[in-house]
Structure 1
Amino acid sequence: MIWEIDDGEKQIEGLDATGHPDPGYAASLGLLPAPFGRRTMATLAELLVLALFALPAMLVATPALAEILSGAGDAGAMLADGALVWPIVTLAVGNVLATVFIVVQLVLLGRKGVTAGKAVFGLRTVNVRTLERPGFWRGAVVRYLVLSLSFLLPLLGPLLVVALSPFFDSERRGRSWLDQAGATWMVDVRRGLNPYDVKRMRIARKSVRITEHASGPALPSLATPVERDAPAQYTPSGRLSGGVIGAHRRMSPPQPGAPGAPVAPSAPTATPVAPAAATPFAPAVAPTGMVDAVPPPLVAGQLLDSFAPSPAAPTPPSAAGSDEPAPSPAAAAPAASAAGGVPAVRAVLRLDDGSRVEVRGATLLGRAPAPVAGEGAMQLVAVADDTRSVSKTHLAILPSRRGVLVVDRGSTNGSAVVRDGSDLTLTPGDPVPVQAGDVVRFGDRTLTIERA
């Protein structure tokens, strides 16, 4: 562990090699010198307030003072008669108000760098070296004493000290003789940075102090490549399907046995099931004229069993010497399929990108299709969609005895069947029969039903 001892010396930024304030550093922070016109107007506004405090005393005390000076009245007699009461009261009140105003001005100037005139005209005073508050004694009291001494030369003294002296500044920062005596600098906070805004001032100092490094090499993009077969530049690790960013998947079919290859559905195991009560249902008649016998609503865990082809009765072997002809290979193929061989192709899905998918069993389509718990093995078809209009599990294509059925799996953007120019919007969870030539629209993608 390294211990650092604070020696109490504060490092002042913005000083040159000789210890003098650098005007370029203040300019790089965004500090701008106060303009001449507003400096003068701020001083005149404060003098006007002092004149207003002294006006009542001048109006009341001036006639009494003139009478005493001219010898027309006796001061003692006037005091005994009470003629000098109001002149004395107005003088006292005026002096008290002026004193309070001056003290408040000095405190605000030393601690906040602002006075009444500076607040009105958007000016602030800072210490010229530290660019912080000027301090009470030198930054406020010394300035006030110099300004008071300038009135010994009526009119010309204040004009020279306040208005004309900024033009003689060798650094061209607009510092008057008052600023040079108090080691202060008056800045414009309307157009430039406010030095008393601690947060912005800290950011400005850091931006000047810290050197910007050259930009490094571009990092790999996290976006999924636009081209379907483009190599993935970056694949996030440890991400699930619910993550915001998904790993890029190539559209080319994987080799059998490779990781990620679809698993062929296993042959159904004959399990004795008690016969269920028949559920009556009416044929679904679509507005486009699509009529088919639609089975009852789907139940999780029965998706495959509901639409699996009924097993064919086994053919007894022909006796030796029988005249019955042997079944043809074409007639024996469906029986072999039903007996547990490779499922027959029930339909072909031609996607809008030209790819073709053979429907041999229950098939799910989407950006990242996945069956719900209890549905068993299903054929999964990942559809690339850069616009993300296709849901993760968007459609289900289910074989039936008279063809195939299409079911919307509660997608976000919905699905529809297009036949002869008419659209039939799919209700989520309700199977709809389709036939060869029908177009199924899901999100921004489409597919066409073709015969096997």
Structure 2
Amino acid sequence: MSLSNDIWEIPAQTTDIEGLDAQGRPDPAYAQAIGLVPARAGMRVMATVLELIVALLVSIPGAVAGVNAMLLSTADPGAFLARKDLIWLLLPPLVSFVLMFVFTLVQLVLHGLKGVTLGKAAFGIRTVNVRTLEKPGFWRGAVVRYLILAVSFVVPLIGPLLVVALSPLFDAERRGRGWADRAAATWLVDVRRGLNPYDAKRMRIARKQITTEVHEAAPVLPSLATPVDRDAPAVYVPTGRFSGGVVGAHRATAPTPAVSASAPGVPAPVAPTPAVPAPAVPAPATPVPAAAAETAVQVPAAGAAPAAWQPPEIAPIVAAPAPAAAAPAATPVPDAPRAVLVIDNGERVEVRTATLIGRAPAAGAGDAPSSVAATGEGEPQLVRVSDETRSVSKTHLAILLSRRGVVVVDRGSTNGSSIVREGAELPLTPGHPAELRAGDVLRFGDRSLRVEQA
């Protein structure tokens, strides 16, 4: 039985390269936006001259000894081969050749993997692939480029001057790319005046700033403190009860106007008592003395005859209903975790209270945003995550408990955070809570965690 070849075909894996235009060509505006600066022509020439000087210093002893040996061998070959010091005559050229070979090989390897050579390191220049802005590669980025430079020396002085110094001036993109750079698909950048493309952390941040909206400052959250001045306007109205008690705004009371008695024989008015909320269960009725039930009387206007005083009406006393029997106390339920997080290194974290995640998390003001009614009790849980690249901030995330579920808040981290849910990635806005669900993947810096239960 034969099978069709179509079922064995594997779709090609394509990787999107940032910094290319619609035609797939390198975009100079993208490189300039992330902070890459082209190397100046003078620095390029000086770096090449420095490498040539080192190569000449390595090869001069061997060349002088080799010329001397050639002259002696042509005069009398038999006598030359019979010399007892023949090994000493051939040793300098051999050592010079080995040193020159090692120097060239090291230059090629460093240039292909790190984009740096002796001259480029001295003058702050790095070589990158013009498309990916990463290492140029060994064969095309290093070997092809140096072969073109070596061929240019066939025409002394004029060839190197044309290839190294003059050809970058004809670059239509004005990035200083010469003929050798075009053949090798390389680009020389200045790391002293611009971004170093081999600094992985800074390069990653620069690329993110192009595609992600940068928040200049964290949003200002309202204060949770009760104002000291009782007549100050209310700023925050509480939505729940915290472990420290009810925190919220005060209620200002209106001042009571003073009333003076102007007519003789009229009893002084009693100041009205501020209204207080009625208790949930009314207290048993008790006799009320008549003196305490008197209310304030109005003072007659000037010139009018005083009205006869009448005793105020007293409301009939109604017996209060019997208090309801207290409900039996509920049996305490064990504190179950509200969420279970699995960090990418396999560590499991059970969330029972507010949890702070970072390289060196520390509790501070602003752990619970005003838009979330936190229900966690006690001190926050601190989860330390190791990160050698320092892409994770000291206090990167806050996992909070609310009435609606479990939420996450980005604490204004440097590299940001995002939630991956059903294949879509949602960046987190610093200071704004986002609901977590079971199965979500939370990325923060170069680390990640998975929500196993929420």
Q: Distance in 2 between matches of 1:226 and 1:74?
A: 110
Secondary structure of 2:13's counterpart equals: coil
Equivalent position amino acid for 1:153 in 2: V
Contact 2:37 2:189 in 1 (8 A): yes
**Aligned positions of 1:35-50 closer than 5 A:** 35-50=40-55
Q: Which amino acid aligns with 1:111?
A: L
Q: Which runs of 5+ in 1 are unaligned?
A: 261-452
Q: How does 1:193-342 map to 2 (within 5 A)?
A: 193-211=195-213, 220-222=222-224, 228-236=230-238, 237-241=240-244, 246-250=247-251, 252=253, 255-258=274-277
Contact conserved, 1:132 with 1:196, CA < 8 A, in 2? yes
What is the distance in 2 between the residues matched to 1:6 and 1:228?
71
TM-score (norm 2): 0.50
Sort the Cα spacing of 1:186 and 1:258 in 2 relative to 1 into closer, same or farther, 3 A: same
Tell me the equivalent position of 1:19.
24
Give a deviation string over 1:74-117, Cα, whole Å, max 9, x none.
13321211454333211111111111111111111111111111
Name 1:177's counterpart in structure 2.
179
State the shift of 1:220 in Å.
4.4
Q: CA deviation at 1:227?
A: 5.4
CA 1:249–1:164: 2 relative to 1, 3 Å: same
Do the aligned residues in 1 keep the contact of 2:108 with 2:142 (CA within 8 Å)?
A: yes
Contact 1:38 1:121 in 2 (8 A): yes
Cα 1:95/1:214, change in 2 over 3 Å: closer
- 1:21-170 matches, cutoff 5 A: 21-68=26-73, 73-82=75-84, 84-170=86-172
Q: Which amino acid aligns with 1:248?
A: A
Alignment of 1:378-393 (within 5 A): none
**Separation (CA, whole Å) in 2 of partners of 1:81 and 1:209:** 74
| Alpha-carbon contact 1:29-1:205 (below 8 Å) kept | yes
How far did 1:168 drift? 1.2
Cα drift, residue 242 of structure 1: 7.9
- Do the aligned residues in 2 keep the contact of 1:122 with 1:189 (CA within 8 Å)? yes
- Give the Cα separation in 1 of the matches to 2:59 and 2:146: 18
One-letter amino acid of the structure 2 residue matched with residue 154 of structure 1: P
Aligned mates of 1:199, 1:215 — CA distance in 2: 22
Q: Offset of 1:229 from its aligned partner? A: 1.9
**Is contact 1:57-1:87 (8 Å) kept?**
no
- Judged with a 3 Å threshold, the aligned counterparts in structure 2 of structure 1 residues 99 and 247 are, in CA distance, closer, same or farther, namely same
Rate the CA distance shift 1:179–1:8 in 2: closer, same or farther, 3 A: same
1:141 partner amino acid: V
1:235–1:259 CA distance, 2 compared to 1 (3 A): farther
**For 2:128 and 2:227, how far apart are their aligned partners in 1?**
56
Larger radius of gyration between Structure 1 and Structure 2: 1
Q: How does 1:376-415 map to 2 (within 5 A)?
A: none
What SS does structure 2 have at the residue aligned with 1:33? coil
The separation in 1 between residues aligned to 2:248 and 2:208, in whole angstroms, is: 40
Partner Cα distance (1:27, 1:102) in 2: 32
Partner of 2:303: none
The alignment partner of 1:81 has SS state of coil
CA 1:98–1:214: 2 relative to 1, 3 Å: closer
Q: Deviations over 1:35-86 (max 9, x none)?
A: 12221121111112211211211232333334556xxx21332121145433
Aligned-residue offset at 1:252:
3.8
Unaligned runs of 5+ in 2: 1-9, 255-272, 280-454
Instruction: Report the secondary structure of 1:32's partner residue.
Output: coil
CA distance in 2, matches of 1:46, 1:111: 18
Contact 1:32 1:191 in 2 (8 A): yes
SS at match of 1:125: strand
**Structure 2 CA distance for aligned equivalents of residues 172 and 65 of structure 1:** 49
Residue equivalent to 1:289:
none
Identity of aligned residues (%): 57
User: Residue 200 of structure 1 aligns to a residue in which SS?
Assistant: helix
Report the counterpart of residue 298 of structure 1 in structure 2: none
SS of structure 2 residue aligned to 1:24: helix
Return the alpha-carbon distance in structure 2 between the equivalents of residues 223 and 176 of structure 1: 66
Provide the C-alpha distance between the structure 1 equivalents of 2:77 and 2:93, rounded to a whole number of angstroms.
Answer: 16
Which residue of structure 1 aligns with residue 436 of structure 2?
none
Deviations 1:359-393 (Å, cap 9, x if unpaired)? xxxxxxxxxxxxxxxxxxxxxxxxxxxxxxxxxxx
Separation in structure 1 between the aligned mates of residue 41 and residue 274 of structure 2, nearest angstrom: 82
Kindly state the Cα deviation for residue 213 of structure 1 after the two structures are TM-superposed. 8.5
Deviations 1:289-321 (A, max 9, x none): xxxxxxxxxxxxxxxxxxxxxxxxxxxxxxxxx
Identify if the C-alpha distance between structure 1 residues 6 and 206 changes in structure 2 by more than 3 Å, giving closer, same or farther.
farther
The alignment of Structure 1 onto Structure 2 pairs a total of residues equal to 251
Give the aligned residue type for 1:10. T
- Closer, same or farther: CA 226–147 of 1 in aligned 2, 3 Å: farther
Contact 1:34 1:123 in 2 (8 A): yes
Question: Contact (CA 8 Å) 1:79, 1:85: kept in 2 or not?
Answer: no
